[in-house]
Structure 1
Amino acid sequence: MSRAFEFQFSSSRHVPTLKVLRASIEDFRYDRHAHTEYAFGVTLAGRQDFFSAGAYHRNPPGSVIFFNPEQPHDGESGGAQRLDYVMAYMAPEALATLFAEAAGNEHAGRLLSPHTLITDPVLRDAILALARLVREGIGSRIDQEDLLQQIAVRMVQRAGRYQPSLPVNRRPDRLLMRACDYIRDHLDQELSLERISAAANLSRYHFLRLFHAQFGMTPHQYVISYRIDAARGALEAGATPGEVALRYGFADHSHFNRRFKRIHGVTPFQYQQSLAH
């Protein structure tokens, strides 16, 4: 009898920040969360249903899924068939040069894809080939870099647009970014709606309304998501799950385990062990 869900993370031995997830799920639902990285992958079998960018999506086999950094989403298996998929994650700064080269503009900012689901066999095959190299620990650095370059070029050609790194001009956006900066700068400290809204110079009522409209998640979901993201980085650096739970304000080890698993599908210890192999 197969397990209701299985998750296996792999870290590239050659390209910093590049990680790959191979997942197989039936009875599992991701909490609403966001990644600081770009996330791109392919559904292998079944269907992935999720909410993101203000809409519900159904991702069929062979379709590419692409999340911009900090794009909130959830996810679960849709239909009767077991969902199998791969996802690759990479930090924005690690992809910036590749996107700029593909765009032919050295001053370009980061790519922002207006599309979450993309039908593109060339892009799909490059992602699958990259995932295979990372998961099986084969090939050289240049092999993985070449596939990342192919992915960057295809995203610029088919699915993306560039936005220069300009200041945010709308006042609500500026105030919300203050709140986000405050949250990220104080992940290891006590946080409250009063303190976060004060950092944005907004009343609690207006802050809650604007935040959810902008990010599609509550401030609490945002805090948990980024605490888990910071915790993941600490685990990758070698900190123990117990140390990380204490550092980022989780009530206890079991609370940390539950929150981590609802976003990444595995416990902190399992995540750390999978990257060690």
Structure 2
Amino acid sequence: MAKQSSRFDYSKSRHIPELTVLRAALSDFSYDRHAHEEYAFGVTLAGRQDFFSGGQFHRSPPGNVIQFNPEQVHDGHPGGDSTLGYVMVYVPSAQLEALFADAAGCERAGRFRGSETLLADPELRQAILELVHLMTHQQGTRIDQEHALHRMATRLVQRAGKFQPGGTVSRPDALLLRAKEYILAHPEADLSLDAISQAAHLSKYHFLRLFRQQFGITPHQYVLSCRVNAARSALEAGVVPNEVAFRYGFADLSHFNRRFKRIYGMTPYQYQRSITGRH
């Protein structure tokens, strides 16, 4: 019997348009290493979810929660022979800052970053699944969805214990952060390694070494990830895929299609149609 092909279904919240939900069934698909600009909260529903992040490999059985901070590099594929079923909600930082600060009783906690990538937490799982249900079935009101987000933020802060402001950032981290900011600020430019390493105030050799060591991804892979993320936003705004490909420096539409599909599981046209409801 032929193996079932993978399925991806993206949708937007009717009440909070910045939120995106993915429902996926993977049998024959592996994500390239990439990073999103938003927080991502997922629940494994069936099969096993295997992925690399934070310098190590993780295995998520059904019921587990996966949490990625903004810009956290990861990949993903089914583990074992069973089809992997999971849901993932993508939430921009701006939607969570006040909720994190409130949960921690500290304004600086708005920039909270979770330290756990894989969590066995029924309360957090329930809040994520409630939000997914409200979004995909277009039920409830905006405040119902915000309440589910608040439960998620509160639980993450509770798990982290008392909020501690971040300590001083090490010099290599600060330099790499400069490089990342430069890449994110120039999604349409024809970037060179020289320009990026100069922005980080590093030699090209040290920059390449530190970047790979720190993020588990090459600068080239990261630039592509940034461009695909920017392209995704343009697609959601209704810009046609051909124009998006040209705007963000892809050689042609087929090159854009290949790169986009390896991060989102479908072509830019399919994604746009899925998210905007256009047919």
Pick the TM interval, shorter chain.
over 0.9
**Cα distance in 2, alignment partners of residues 20 and 160 from structure 1:** 28
- Could you tell me which residue of structure 1 aligns to residue 206 of structure 2? 206
Q: Given that residues 48 and 82 in structure 2 are in contact (C-alpha distance below 8 angstroms), is that contact kept between their aligned partners in structure 1?
A: yes
Q: Extract structure 1 runs of 4+ deviating beyond 6 A.
A: none
Q: How many matched pairs?
A: 276
- Could you tell me which residue of structure 1 aligns to residue 23 of structure 2? 22
- Could you tell me which residue of structure 1 aligns to residue 249 of structure 2? 249
Tell me, what secondary structure is at the counterpart of 2:58?
Answer: strand
Pair 1:134 & 2:135 matched: yes
Q: Given that residues 182 and 199 in structure 2 are in contact (C-alpha distance below 8 angstroms), is that contact kept between their aligned partners in structure 1?
A: yes
Q: CA deviation at 1:65?
A: 0.5
Tell me, what secondary structure is at the counterpart of 2:202?
Answer: coil
- Could you tell me which residue of structure 1 aligns to residue 72 of structure 2? 71
Q: CA deviation at 1:164?
A: 4.1
Residue ranges of structure 2 left out of the alignment (5+ in a row): none
- Could you tell me which residue of structure 2 aligns to residue 235 of structure 1? 235
**Cα distance in 1, alignment partners of residues 162 and 267 from structure 2:** 36
- 1:160/1:57 CA distance change after superposition, 3 Å: farther
Q: CA deviation at 1:29?
A: 0.2
TM-score (norm 2): 0.94
Query: Quick one: percent identity of the two aligned structures?
Result: 61
**Cα distance in 1, alignment partners of residues 148 and 61 from structure 2:** 23
Q: Given that residues 236 and 276 in structure 2 are in contact (C-alpha distance below 8 angstroms), is that contact kept between their aligned partners in structure 1?
A: no
Q: Given that residues 114 and 161 in structure 1 are in contact (C-alpha distance below 8 angstroms), is that contact kept between their aligned partners in structure 2?
A: no
Pair 1:44 & 2:24 matched: no
TM-score (norm 1): 0.95
Q: Deviations over 1:112-152 (max 9, x none)?
A: 11111111111111111110111111211111111111111
**Cα distance in 1, alignment partners of residues 28 and 38 from structure 2:** 26
Residue ranges of structure 1 left out of the alignment (5+ in a row): none
Q: Deviations over 1:176-215 (max 9, x none)?
A: 2221121112110111112211222211111100111111
Is 118-127 or 83-92 further displaced after alignment?
Answer: 118-127
- Could you tell me which residue of structure 2 aligns to residue 226 of structure 1? 226
Q: Given that residues 31 and 74 in structure 1 are in contact (C-alpha distance below 8 angstroms), is that contact kept between their aligned partners in structure 2?
A: yes
**Cα distance in 2, alignment partners of residues 16 and 49 from structure 1:** 30
Structure 1 letter corresponding to 2:157: V
**Cα distance in 1, alignment partners of residues 55 and 161 from structure 2:** 18
- 1:11/1:113 CA distance change after superposition, 3 Å: same
Q: Given that residues 113 and 160 in structure 1 are in contact (C-alpha distance below 8 angstroms), is that contact kept between their aligned partners in structure 2?
A: no
- 1:160/1:117 CA distance change after superposition, 3 Å: farther
Q: CA deviation at 1:17?
A: 1.3
Tell me, what secondary structure is at the counterpart of 1:50?
Answer: strand
Q: Deviations over 1:82-109 (max 9, x none)?
A: 0000000010111101111111112323
Tell me, what secondary structure is at the counterpart of 1:66?
Answer: strand
